[in-house]
Homo-oligomer: A and B are copies of this chain.
Amino acid sequence: MSDLALAVFAAETGAHLVEVPRERRFERFRRSFDEASCRSKLSARGLRFVGREEGAYPPRLRELHDPPPGLFLRGGAPIELLSAPAVAVVGARACSSYGSQVAQLLGRELSAAGLVVLSGLARGVDGQAHRGALDADGRTVAVLGCGIDRDYPAAHAQLAARICDRGLVVSEYAPGVEPAPWRFPARNRVIAGLAAATVVVEARERSGALITADFALEAGREVFAVPGEITSTLSVGTHALLRLGATPLTCAGDVLEALGVEPPAGGLPELGETASTVLAALSEEAAGVDQLVRGTGLDAAAVSTALAELELAGIVAEAEGLYRGVRPQD
């Protein structure tokens, strides 16, 4: 029996298959299926496949009750990357600036500590988590809900290419499979399955990220939820997770501690007096330049210079004119 045959058959028939179907059609397909030729075609396109029966198949994924028959791979990293300690960072597509900044921060800090950052290449939280990992020269893996040859969303084609440079894009779906709504929950089980722990950054009341969290809990993996303001609808889902017993995540260190990973050495770079003053003013609440000028007594030029210095050092992030301190723990 060939896992690759099953994966290709599923793609051609538009079905989600994790077990060999008891139908003549598959039997006929399997007999005519030329695995060697299929593998060489994949290879010609820079793609790989790892089947459930191969030793390189990720052990954490195998633990699911319905592991995919195999994964298609795109990108330069060795397949062992999928078995390295990994954390899923997922959340809303239309996230807030807070969610965006926290996702990027977590991507950066978790990958800087040596963890693989997993996500779904989607807009919003997913993309920011991948970007954070890439910013830290870390390793990141994107799991698609469509065929391995597709960049979905199209706006993230360049991000996918950057991920492939050092990491992997993976999918249980063979080339040519179109994105379809029902494939995304299935994709989320792969994200949760590959990850030792799952972090939900921002999620509305009924959010795909909560499905990922459910899969993670079902697989007995730790789920973290990032708290946010109770006045934001984007934190309704994460707070619901907290009420269900998810661990509140307050910094990347919480995940490292749970997984027994040493935090990397380092700390805040040396800051000038002005930058320190501005950072202190940001430690309690996001603020715009005007508020910072009023709050610190500095002039607008000094505040702007300090903000540029802090942004460059990765200590402060900006979105829509609002600045936020993103490393309060140091």
Q: What is A's interface to B at a CB cutoff of 8 Å? A: 94, 96-98, 101-102, 226-236, 239-240, 242-243, 247-251, 283-288, 290-291, 294, 320-321, 324-326, 328
Docked CA distance A291–B286 (Å) = 14
CB distance from A22 to the nearest CB of B (A): 48
CB-defined contacts of A326 to chain B, threshold 8 Å? 231
Q: Which residues of B contact A230 (CB under 8 A)?
A: 102, 226-227, 249-251, 328
Which residues of B sit under 8 angstroms from A236, Cβ to Cβ?
250, 328
Whether A231 pairs with B328 at a CB distance below 8 angstroms is yes
Given contacts A96-B285, A248-B243, A250-B239, contact A228 B231 (CB under 8 A): no
* B residues less than 8 Å from A283 (CB atoms): 232-233
Q: Given contacts A236-B250, A250-B239, are A97 and B288 in contact (CB under 8 A)?
A: no
Q: Is the CB of B229 within 8 A of A229?
A: yes
Determine the chain B residues whose CB is within 8 A of the CB of A248 once the complex forms. Answer: 227, 239, 242-243, 248
Contact A101:B231 (CB < 8 A) given known A239-B248, A242-B248, A285-B96: yes
CA of A286 to CA of B251, assembled, Å? 22
- Shortest Cβ gap from A293 to chain B (Å): 12
- 17 A-B residue pairs with CB within 8 Å: A96-B285, A98-B285, A101-B231, A102-B230, A226-B230, A227-B227, A227-B248, A229-B229, A231-B286, A232-B283, A233-B284, A239-B250, A242-B248, A243-B248, A287-B320, A291-B320, A294-B320
- Report yes or no: A229 in contact with B231, Cβ–Cβ below 8 A: no
How far does the alpha carbon of A288 sit from the alpha carbon of B321 in the complex, in Å? Answer: 10
The residue from B96, B239, B288 contacting A284, defined by CB atoms under 8 A apart: B96
> Do residues A102 and B227 form an inter-chain contact, with CB atoms below 8 A?
no
A227 to B247 alpha-carbon distance, docked (Å) = 12
Query: Measured between alpha carbons, how far is A321 from B287 in the docked complex, in Å?
Result: 10
B residues less than 8 Å from A250 (CB atoms): 230, 236, 239-240, 243
Distance A226 CA – B247 CA, assembled complex (angstroms)? 15
A232 and B284 contact, CB distance less than 8 A: yes
Among candidates B97, B232, B288, B320, residue contacting A328 with C-beta atoms closer than 8 Å? B232
A94–B295 Cα gap in the complex (Å)?
A: 13
Pairwise interchain contact B286-A288, C-beta atoms closer than 8 A: no
Once bound together, how far apart are the Cα atoms of A186 and B117, in whole Å? 47
Chain B residues with CB under 8 A of A96: 284-285
Residues of B within 8 A of A249 (CB): 230
Other-chain contact of A324, B102, B231, B243 (Cβ < 8 Å)? B231
Tell me the nearest residue of chain B to A241, going by C-beta: B248
Q: How far is the CA of A297 from the CA of B283 in the complex (A)?
A: 32
Q: Are A285 and B328 in contact (CB under 8 A)?
A: no
B227 and A285 form a contact (CB under 8 A): no
Beyond A101-B231, A232-B328, 15 additional contacts (C-beta under 8 Å) are A96-B284, A97-B285, A98-B229, A98-B231, A227-B230, A227-B248, A229-B229, A230-B251, A231-B326, A232-B284, A236-B250, A239-B248, A243-B247, A288-B321, A294-B320
